[in-house]
Amino acid sequence: EEIYNHGSINPVFKSGGTVCAAVCLVQDIIKGVKNSRRLKTLGEFGHHISKVKSLESACHIITKVL
């Protein structure tokens, strides 16, 4: 399974200015990545749909897009 995350690491400072820890914030962005891919695929199908003349040509286009 694919996993996509966006993250950042930020230092936590002591009162003297030295780093004493780090905070890691991670956000799951898999839904956005998958939705973007789906929209791209649907757009490609839409672009080629006028070329479909038969079941065979439809299968060829589907194979090409996927």
Where does residue 43 rank: exposed (0-12), middle (13-18), buried (19+ CB within 10 A)? Answer: exposed
Q: Does the pLDDT at position 1 exceed 90?
A: no
pLDDT tens digit string along 11-65?
Answer: 999 999 999 999 999 999 999 999 999 999 999 999 999 999 999 999 999 999 9
C-alpha distances in Å from residue 46, one per residue of 18, 33, 43, 56: 57, 20, 5, 17
Q: Where are the domains of the chain?
A: 5-65
Token couple for 25: 């914030």
